[in-house]
Structure 1
Amino acid sequence: MIMYGGKVMELTEKSVLMESPAHPYAVSLLSSVPRIGSEKLPDSIPGYPPDLRSPPRDCVFHPRCPYASELCKSIEPPVAIVESRKVKCWLYIEK
């Protein structure tokens, strides 16, 4: 399970998540983990986490997401079923 801003962003088996994350935050999070034996520095996630004292009503990850659309900035995404996982992202919702 991957959570961000108090919300479940992706829910699947650990092996599935580690091999092929679907939610943009899961992808970014796994890219930020240092790899043993690698000389490449891990990626960082730009921006800042949301202020949970006044939670956003839209997608909590959109300010930091490289795929954010206008829809992400206005409405919280529903949960999409993608193969063996649940993903809370507009990228996986048919419009």
Structure 2
Amino acid sequence: MILVTYLYRVPQELLDEYLEATHKRIKPFWEGRGCRYEVYRQKDDPSSFLKLMFFEDEETFRKNLLQKDQETSEVVALFRKFAQEV
């Protein structure tokens, strides 16, 4: 199993939009590609997040995260629209 972790912040004014985009687009996209996708929000700082991406094996990891197709690039760009201090 390959685990990829990200620590990042989302500006307060973008939190609602980020949470909706994650729920409706980002998480379903990655899970459809064989990646278990989990996001945790810090209790004491609601603008801080931990993202965990679990890939079954190295081949799945490379195919989906490193060799980006158009749709993957769009989802990554959507995440980067919100995430800061990654």
Q: Fold match, TM over 0.5? A: no
Select the structure that is richer in strand.
2
Asked which structure has the greater CA Rg, the reply is: 1
Q: Scaled by the length of structure 1, what TM-score is found? A: 0.28
Structure of greater relative contact order (alpha carbons < 8 Å, 6+ residues apart): 2
Select the structure that is richer in helix.
2
Q: Scaled by the length of structure 2, what TM-score is found? A: 0.30
